[in-house]
């Protein structure tokens, strides 16, 4: 996945890139899209670790399922105060969600 210049999308509120056969890694620059509320990246062929997304404080919905991400479950996702839907199933992640996500009322975790 390649983002040449994120300057034009800094005020992006949602991004749906589901099922586009994207390959490569998720760039750490994605964390600069701090207005993002929904990020749907399911059903692609993305690999590598999930970068630190803790700056995305407005994020409510994150779908990274059905990819080939690997490495530890990103504990930083537990710091996202508005996160209410998190799909990470069908990846190669080790461990599980942090307890503060498991205990969060109304959150959808897969």
For residue range 84-102, what is the model confidence (pLDDT) as tens digits?
Answer: 999 999 999 999 998 999 9
Pairing of strands 68-72, 92-94: parallel
- Cα distances (angstroms) measured from residue 96 to each of 18, 42, 59: 23, 18, 20
Give residue limits of the domains in the chain: 7-109
Q: What does the pLDDT read at residue 1? A: 47
Which DSSP symbol is given to 78? Answer: G
What is residue 64's three-state secondary structure? coil
CATH superfamily assigned to domain 7-109 = Ribonuclease Inhibitor (3.80.10.10)
pLDDT at 81 > cutoff 50: yes
Q: What does the pLDDT read at residue 63? A: 98
pLDDT digits (tens, 9 = 90+) for 1-37: 445 555 556 678 999 999 999 999 999 999 999 999 9
pLDDT digits (tens, 9 = 90+) for 39-48: 999 999 999 9
- E strand map for the chain: 14-16, 23-25, 38-40, 45-48, 61-63, 68-72, 85-87, 92-94, 108-109
């Amino acid at each position: 996945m390649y983002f040449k210049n994120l300057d034009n999308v800094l005020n992006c509120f949602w991004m749906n890139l589901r099922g586009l056969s994207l390959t490569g890694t998720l760039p750490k620059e994605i964390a600069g899209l701090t207005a993002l509320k929904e990020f749907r990246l399911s059903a692609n062929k993305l690999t590598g670790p999930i970068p630190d997304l803790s700056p995305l404080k407005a994020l409510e919905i994150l779908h990274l399922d059905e990819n080939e991400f690997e490495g530890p479950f990103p504990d930083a996702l537990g710091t996202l105060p508005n996160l209410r839907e998190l799909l990470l199933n069908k990846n190669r992640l080790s461990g599980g969600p942090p307890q503060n996500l498991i205990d969060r009322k109304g959150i959808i975790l897969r």
